[in-house]
Structure 1
Amino acid sequence: MQAKLAQELDIDLVLAGLLVQRGVDTFAKAKSFFRPSLDELHDPFLMKDMQLAVDRIAKAVAQKENILVFGDYDVDGTTSVALVSSFLQSYYPNVATYIPDRYEEGYGVSYQGIDYAHDNEFTLIIALDCGVKAVDKIAYAKEKGVDFIVCDHHRPGKNLPDAVAILDPKREDCTYPYDELCGCGVGFKLCQAITITNNWDFQILIPYLDLVATAIGADIVPMTGENRILTYHGLHVINTSPRAGFQAIISQLDKKDKLTSTDVVFTIAPRINAAGRMKHGLHAVQLLTETDVDKAVVYAKEIEQFNIDRKETDRYITQAALQQILDTGAQDRYSTIVFDPSWHKGVIGIVASRLMETYYRPTLVFTKSGDFLAASARSVKGFDVYDALEQCSEFIEQFGGHMYAAGLTLRAENFEAFKNRFEEVVCATIQNQQRTEEISIDCRLPLGSINGKFYRILQQMAPFGPKNMTPVFLTEKVTDTGYGKKVGSGGEHLKLCLSQDQGITSYDAIGFNKGSKWEELQQKKLLKIAYSLDKNTWQGVSKIQLRLRDIQ
């Protein structure tokens, strides 16, 4: 199969093997994989309740009702709100936006938001990236004469809320063919359905794909199926005709090449997120919906400052959390749970991710939030933290999320009981191999096989993300040619020049946070390296380089 595919596509056997690993095992599938087509998007009306949602919006427009577009304060939520509100406003004026305050209201649909809608005569709320578990709140809205359309992608609870329509491909009674959309993806499907109903040209939706691509990357949903198609075309929008807000962010970055999905995740998304973390998510929506470039530049500068503040705050809290683990002797537990009432709620999710880099295990970081304690949870590969929280639900007020990331609140008096129960659950259910971080190798690769054509075809396998990760290669019997050095302000990174079998070809390699390996490298032993390939551009010259994941 691999050899046949290599021959049909005129590509290296290694590349054909990478495609087969991803389920791309025929010429037809390869064509679809390398050129994702918007024609392959599913009919939005295959999603349960889509017709109900479209009809309710049409009724609101006909009767001149006020519509409130409500979303969470993270990247998925703010991009969703920007997308759906600006799409609706393109043909109907009575549309406003609402993002809950992270500190005053917390995650998801809020009573304050419903009161705001009622007090300001909004009779329809479209909730994005939240709402599927807001049973009590949506019942409260109904009593006040406010209807809800829910566009969510989180796992529902036992009961669904009494909304006009609940668009969520993870509903058990929803047979939509692809259930890995993010919240913004579900919002996009709603806009697609409205477009079809009105016989409008699909092309009017293209400018919104930059928002969808950003949400997909930031929310770490699988880069397969519709997500891959939407990201592929969304990146094209970002690189060819970005909206004013993206243009303003990109202009602040020292970025000459085209932006990849990875760039979006690590440069654009953190800045959008910083608004909701440090100030208010409405700043992000304002930036993403602004059409005047000069105004967008002002908003982007504001958000850049939020991002600088966010970095300083998360660095300080991470150090404090690591010290707390040492002070309490918790290094040997199966889970990490830390708490300080003064920690900034906006960065505890990032801190949880940072702690995972040191102690590889399911991690929760708690802080005080009003009368409750709030936490962000992050998990290791293969361990479902959402399921683990479900088994501790007797101690939790509310929780939501995914396999690898979740949020929860609980009462202070239940903290110790929860902490002990969570540790018990993790201890009983985590597999031994999940307690050590593994690097998954896609295949062995001789350094001599790397050339311009190989790299170009490899890049066409992008956009990369979960279930279509950047390929990682293994090469053995590699030597450092002697030009290696430690780089970075504290010598924390490695810059090497590597060759194999005394070969004439050598490649530059960068190993971020691999400076500790420097002493071993002085022994001039043969090396085994795990790495991915990328390009390094220096003084206008681009060269393929090895991005080291590990060295032995």
Structure 2
Amino acid sequence: AVAGDGDGDGAATDPVAEPRASGAGPDPHGGTPAAISVFDPAFHEGVVGIVASRIKERFHRPTFVFAASAAPGKSHEIKGSGRSIPGFHLRDALDLVAKRHPGVLLRFGGHAMAAGCTVAREHFGTFERALAQVAREWLDAATLTRQLDTDGPIAPEYMRVDLVDTLHREVWGQGFAPPTFSDEVEVLSQRLVGEKHLAVKLRHRGRPVDGIWFGHTEPLPPRATLAFRLDADEWQGVRRVRFLIEGMQSD
């Protein structure tokens, strides 16, 4: 996908909101392509990794984001940063693209979950289609379905601001994720915030609690099993526990 036309006359689209299927044909796993590639002439090289991570997290697809090269004499090149999902070795995928399409990848390197590459601007479409083809061959529907492991329900007596503060003081990272809980809730009300986020009022085990689902706009059913982390917000000087919603159990 190409966001913007690079001539300054049109507004660039939001690549995080609007990835499209590549020109390699329809994706057998649904509307979202098996791999996402985005090039925007307005991007700076320093942001492509961040944008790739955001798209990968939102759509659970291997993702490459490209920006025009800032190196002298390299205006015909674009540099990409990629992020992957479990089960798709990004560096090996680039190696296969290079073997199938000699000359498309000028340089590449990386490892399973992150990689970088340089492509001639005129070959971006070929790269996009080739990467999507590899992803369709290597990934099945189960791998392309996001799975969220949780620590199960949390009892109401642990819904305390001091526990939230304790959790926030800990250092979390890859292989040591912050606690994520799951439980059935009653949805009392819901509204969009900034047209991009869903704010909800819930009843959890008989007690009211607020929640926010960042980057989600679809309404929730009257009852739902949600995955969430604990957070705290402040209103009129009073701090209260709220849910940071991570996902919803599908039927």
- Fold-level match, TM-score > 0.5? yes
Larger Rg: 1
| 2:65 aligned partner | 365
1:532–1:547 Cα contact (<8 Å) kept = yes
2:23–2:129 Cα contact (<8 Å) kept = no
| 2:143 aligned partner | 434
| 1:479 aligned partner | 186
Matching of residue 423 in structure 1 with residue 118 in structure 2: no
Instruction: For residues 253-293 of structure 1, give each alpha carbon's deviation from its aligned partner in whole angstroms, at most 9, with x where no partner exists.
Output: xxxxxxxxxxxxxxxxxxxxxxxxxxxxxxxxxxxxxxxxx
Unaligned runs of 5+ in 2: 1-7, 28-32
| 2:234 aligned partner | 537
1:355–1:363 Cα contact (<8 Å) kept = yes
Instruction: For residues 53-108 of structure 1, give each alpha carbon's deviation from its aligned partner in whole angstroms, at most 9, with x where no partner exists.
Output: xxxxxxxxxxxxxxxxxxxxxxxxxxxxxxxxxxxxxxxxxxxxxxxxxxxxxxxx
1:494–1:514 Cα contact (<8 Å) kept = no
Shift in CA distance, 471/320, structure 1 to aligned 2, threshold 3 Å: closer
Mapped partners of 2:57, 2:116: distance in 1: 19
Mapped partners of 2:24, 2:117: distance in 1: 25
How far did 1:514 drift? 3.8
Fraction of identical pairs, as percent: 26
Counterpart secondary structure, 2:53: helix
How far did 1:449 drift? 4.0
How far did 1:473 drift? 0.5
In structure 1, give the amino acid aligned to 2:43.
H
How far did 1:531 drift? 0.6
2:196–2:214 Cα contact (<8 Å) kept = no
Q: 1:375 aligns with which of 50, 56, 80?
A: 80
Instruction: For residues 97-140 of structure 1, give each alpha carbon's deviation from its aligned partner in whole angstroms, at most 9, with x where no partner exists.
Output: xxxxxxxxxxxxxxxxxxxxxxxxxxxxxxxxxxxxxxxxxxxx
Matching of residue 494 in structure 1 with residue 192 in structure 2: no
Could you say which structure has the higher helix fraction? 1
Mapped partners of 1:420, 1:343: distance in 2: 22
Mapped partners of 1:409, 1:324: distance in 2: 21
Listed as ranges, the matches of 1:38-437 within 5 Å are: 317-319=12-14, 325=20, 328=23, 332=27, 333-339=33-39, 342-346=41-45, 347-356=47-56, 359-369=59-69, 370=74, 371-394=76-99, 395=102, 396-412=105-121, 415=124, 418-437=127-146
Instruction: For residues 492-528 of structure 1, give each alpha carbon's deviation from its aligned partner in whole angstroms, at most 9, with x where no partner exists.
Output: 422313221xx3x33332222344215x33xxxx331
| 1:443 aligned partner | 152
Instruction: For residues 186-236 of structure 1, give each alpha carbon's deviation from its aligned partner in whole angstroms, at most 9, with x where no partner exists.
Output: xxxxxxxxxxxxxxxxxxxxxxxxxxxxxxxxxxxxxxxxxxxxxxxxxxx
2:15–2:38 Cα contact (<8 Å) kept = no
Shift in CA distance, 421/529, structure 1 to aligned 2, threshold 3 Å: closer
In structure 2, give the amino acid aligned to 1:529.
L
In structure 1, give the amino acid aligned to 2:226.
I
Counterpart secondary structure, 1:325: coil
Instruction: For residues 375-406 of structure 1, give each alpha carbon's deviation from its aligned partner in whole angstroms, at most 9, with x where no partner exists.
Output: 22122244321232233344422223343332
Instruction: For residues 467-493 of structure 1, give each alpha carbon's deviation from its aligned partner in whole angstroms, at most 9, with x where no partner exists.
Output: 1111110113x224x4x3314133742
Mapped partners of 1:377, 1:317: distance in 2: 21
Aligned residues: 225
Mapped partners of 1:527, 1:327: distance in 2: 34
Mapped partners of 2:195, 2:122: distance in 1: 43
| 1:137 aligned partner | none
Unaligned runs of 5+ in 1: 1-312
| 1:513 aligned partner | 215
How far did 1:435 drift? 0.8
Structural RMSD (CA): 3.4
In structure 2, give the amino acid aligned to 1:352.
A
My pick for the range that moved more, 418-427 or 434-443, is 418-427
| Structure-2-length-normalised TM-score | 0.71
Q: 1:547 aligns with which of 241, 244, 247?
A: 244
Counterpart secondary structure, 1:422: helix
In structure 1, give the amino acid aligned to 2:136.
C
Shift in CA distance, 436/354, structure 1 to aligned 2, threshold 3 Å: same
Mapped partners of 2:133, 2:191: distance in 1: 42
2:197–2:213 Cα contact (<8 Å) kept = no
Shift in CA distance, 405/364, structure 1 to aligned 2, threshold 3 Å: same
Instruction: For residues 286-341 of structure 1, give each alpha carbon's deviation from its aligned partner in whole angstroms, at most 9, with x where no partner exists.
Output: xxxxxxxxxxxxxxxxxxxxxxxxxxx9xx6453686672695866242223445x
Could you say which structure has the higher strand fraction? 2
Shift in CA distance, 534/359, structure 1 to aligned 2, threshold 3 Å: closer
Mapped partners of 1:318, 1:465: distance in 2: 32
2:24–2:133 Cα contact (<8 Å) kept = no
How far did 1:542 drift? 1.7
| Structure-1-length-normalised TM-score | 0.36
2:22–2:36 Cα contact (<8 Å) kept = no
| 1:200 aligned partner | none
| 1:58 aligned partner | none
1:472–1:532 Cα contact (<8 Å) kept = yes
